[in-house]
Structure 1
């Protein structure tokens, strides 16, 4: 009987050992009776058991017991944990796993080590266990998960900030943008990330942004600038923009933080007690350079309203219609009369039947003929008015009627006959009813005179000013603006630069020339589609006080009223 192993067996063992070393594996082979047939020497690197427990013929149960005693057993808590698995229960569980046809898991073995266990039970009953160290891979996965969680937390923190923040890479492409920054453009982050400023803002501004960004990247010195931004919804945003360089050499980034100073720039004491008439405004608008205007007035307009009032837009320059509103509602009176006057109609109101009769008598006495009587459906003695009124057509209107829609109805009602031209100016037929009927003389002042030749822009101005409750008139060219300035003596002039007959520069110069004889100075604000240096110099040379860029927004106009018409603003907020 020969107890010596064959030479072929030694060669097989050497091959297995070499393969395990090359692959970084530990290999354990068990027979059908759960005794060890082969164990690679590398098993001791994973489980520091007594060497005799790995010899062929050792029971698998004894080997598992030795692994348990080392404290480095898989699928248990680290050795410093107070929780200890029962020895026999753990051995029984592992024996069951060894008899599965297939089993694979990644388990902790100690405080910082992770191993991958792969177990196979062949049809012959032989079981094979391979063990590999995946600690580095696990650490990378954990680090990646930690980084992802950190990034997610950082994004949540950035999104919670009220100030717009964005990050650009060294190619000046956006790689991060918080919710406040995206809200300026009214787009989702996906529409900004991966793009540059040239894809988001005008070319002139994109070039300016690139210059400051590259300066920050090259020098590492922060950049600061005060800017005025108009959001996509038309609201104003006054910010102090600061840019910083972060990162390491060769991997720098530019972080832009826009500190919102809209609510803290200045406090306007509309009332001494700081009550409801108080508000916030910018103390010095000159420190802000024009930035991007994302407001689109055409997108903001009510399309259905445009369709319904299409004839009104076509006949907007028409003037001379005389309209009388009969209503006992003072709020409706202020809203409708201001809207009609702002669109070039001569309009006033009466509040009861007696005033209506007195007005009719006064108008007849002065030779003034009315074109339309707008009658509130809630007007007292409405039936009596219908029975006795023969002067002009009557339009019914509800107290909550839209003033713009009413304007369209008035134009439609008057299209069949041309409006009569009276020899009396508007001021000669306005009647006051503080007791007896009496004609009022003197110029009829308005808050704002708008000089704009484009009819759509005229409609945008009228929508905004009507919404602010400001009285206004619209001139279709520079010559008409000068004439209306002489007639109405407005408190503020919004002057378009490019107009027929007489442009905005010439009209402003004519107004300033006329004012030199009176000592009175009306604020004139240029309205231009560009902010080129030559235009701004021409504005100043022609006597203009300020400028705004198209497209205009409601907040932009309200800011002008706050700046130049303090008395009007106080009245509007009273």
Structure 2
């Protein structure tokens, strides 16, 4: 008889080791006295300790002490001094984790290794710990985050570029667009991405684009073309379009960059000392037409139709232009004179006030003040000037629209009638009978200042449903202009808008009112839970605020509070 173990005595241990290795796990089992019953060999690959520290009978405390001594304790790296953490305290804290019913954590071992640790203490007192190397997963997550950050930075850079840029895949589907390109179409990126040119432009033009796109993708040759584009707002822009192929073979993509040269074509001065102009308009081919006349028929087409016959305003009308830009003055003053105005310009607030004093002393009436919307002194100008109505004019003003705005603003302002001796022709004073005092009835009940197209649609649907007349302004400057024309009963003012924000627009309206008896209620429309917007709204002279998203009940309540109740009170007072 020989004292030799059978060949299958350790079969269970070998099978367990093979199974754990296949699963990528390392297992540690200890009894209720925290002495090892079983420890798999892969533990030594995670912790650079001697093999005797995982032998059966080894105390858990000794194993943790060995891990601490080699500097691979969780949350630290070998480069850091282990003396910064008390050894006994660290071991005691880890043992307490082992005696929890369940405990899971992710530990970083060194600079490039992470391990997932799961602990379970059974009712019998037996403890089971599993270790899973998740280093590759963590590296992929970190790389993914780096890639996402890089993509975010790239998108921000593209969006900040003034020139339209877009990217197509091999199927000629839009996979990337910047804000400048979306502005041309007047739609959000979500409405462009995943679509093709066939969805955005006429079939003839889409086919033309596809021919050049395919040629660039197949040959790698750069494509260049001078094009004339009609934006969604009806404005013409001239661009030099260039198409490039990028990426690896089989994964090529098409990048299109449009260099906006509108300033050169339109003859605007790029450099004050050396104005540059392009005279050959034939070099530009007609391209995209993103303008939808039906969307603007109530405003743009009617204005242009009326402006076909431009009746000369009375010669006695006098207009004053306030602008720091010489180009703005040189383009606007001659146009005003064509319309029959006696027009001139000033270039600063001091000049404006001095001109007003001289005109007043000479009994010369100024009928309208046109202020450059790009001026940095708008608030001061509107606060100090009370000699006449004013109109904010953008640098991109168009003849038909400006003529219509001036005509509407002066429609209810009688031109001064002066006899030869200089006295007013009519000295009659009409005093209304008691009970017959006129009550102001606005042509437009509500002006909505909102730049978001979806919100514009929501406002329109609600106000139409309530039977309230309204006009919508796309920015603060337009809101002030519409207020000047219609003098509505209520203004709903979005505080965050381009060109001029809601706060400045409210200040401009209050300045124009001049503290008189007539005061238009202005309601700020803000995003939820932004107290700063509410405080700035009050400081700008707004009467109340509502928060998005808006609802019919909300709009009706505001209208009843500031319009219906006020009209009823005026009638009772009358």
Which TM-score band (shorter chain)? 0.5 to 0.7
C-alpha change, 1:39 and 1:328, in structure 2 (3 Å) is same
The equivalent of 1:104 in structure 2 is 104
Larger Rg: 1
Q: Give the Cα–Cα distance (whole angstroms) in 2 for the partners of residues 137 and 324 of structure 1.
A: 76
Of the candidates 277, 286, 289, which is equivalent to residue 285 of structure 2?
Answer: 289
- Of structures 1 and 2, the one scoring higher in RCO (CA 8 A, sep 6+) is 1
Question: Is 1:116 aligned to 2:153, yes or no?
Answer: no
C-alpha change, 1:375 and 1:34, in structure 2 (3 Å) is closer
- The answer for unaligned runs of 5 or more in structure 1 is 340-351, 353-373, 388-401, 403-574
Q: Give the Cα–Cα distance (whole angstroms) in 1 for the partners of residues 17 and 145 of structure 2.
A: 36
RMSD (Å) for aligned C-alpha atoms: 4.1
For residues 229-286 of structure 1, the C-alpha deviation after alignment (integer angstroms, 9 at most, x for no partner) is 121122222211111111111110000011122234585679xx959xx976533211
Question: Is 1:147 aligned to 2:147, yes or no?
Answer: yes
Question: Is 1:133 aligned to 2:133, yes or no?
Answer: yes
The equivalent of 1:507 in structure 2 is none
The equivalent of 1:92 in structure 2 is 92
The equivalent of 1:246 in structure 2 is 246
Mapped contact 2:164–2:179 kept (Cα < 8 A): yes
Using the TM superposition, give the Cα deviation of residue 379 of structure 1 relative to its aligned residue in structure 2, in angstroms. 2.0
Q: Give the Cα–Cα distance (whole angstroms) in 2 for the partners of residues 118 and 324 of structure 1.
A: 87
Aligned residue for 1:241, secondary structure, equals strand
The equivalent of 1:237 in structure 2 is 237
Q: Give the Cα–Cα distance (whole angstroms) in 2 for the partners of residues 107 and 31 of structure 1.
A: 24
Q: Give the Cα–Cα distance (whole angstroms) in 2 for the partners of residues 204 and 385 of structure 1.
A: 66
Paired residues, what number? 343
For residues 462-488 of structure 1, the C-alpha deviation after alignment (integer angstroms, 9 at most, x for no partner) is xxxxxxxxxxxxxxxxxxxxxxxxxxx
Mapped contact 1:216–1:222 kept (Cα < 8 A): yes
For residues 108-163 of structure 1, the C-alpha deviation after alignment (integer angstroms, 9 at most, x for no partner) is 11221111111111111111001111111111111111111111111111111111
Q: Give the Cα–Cα distance (whole angstroms) in 2 for the partners of residues 193 and 63 of structure 1.
A: 57
Of the candidates 380, 386, 395, which is equivalent to residue 417 of structure 2?
Answer: 380
C-alpha change, 1:326 and 1:209, in structure 2 (3 Å) is closer
Q: Give the Cα–Cα distance (whole angstroms) in 2 for the partners of residues 233 and 205 of structure 1.
A: 20
Q: TM-score, normalised by structure 2?
A: 0.53
Q: Give the Cα–Cα distance (whole angstroms) in 1 for the partners of residues 208 and 301 of structure 2.
A: 39
Aligned residue for 2:258, secondary structure, equals strand
Q: Give the Cα–Cα distance (whole angstroms) in 1 for the partners of residues 186 and 112 of structure 2.
A: 48
The equivalent of 2:166 in structure 1 is 166
Q: Give the Cα–Cα distance (whole angstroms) in 2 for the partners of residues 375 and 114 of structure 1.
A: 78
Q: TM-score, normalised by structure 1?
A: 0.53
Using the TM superposition, give the Cα deviation of residue 50 of structure 1 relative to its aligned residue in structure 2, in angstroms. 1.4
- For residues 331-410 of structure 1, the aligned pairs below 5 Å read 331=319, 338=339, 377-381=414-418, 384=425
C-alpha change, 1:7 and 1:31, in structure 2 (3 Å) is farther
- For residues 267-306 of structure 1, the aligned pairs below 5 Å read 281-302=277-298
Mapped contact 1:223–1:244 kept (Cα < 8 A): yes
C-alpha change, 1:267 and 1:34, in structure 2 (3 Å) is same
Using the TM superposition, give the Cα deviation of residue 78 of structure 1 relative to its aligned residue in structure 2, in angstroms. 4.3
Of the candidates 309, 313, 316, which is equivalent to residue 328 of structure 1?
Answer: 316
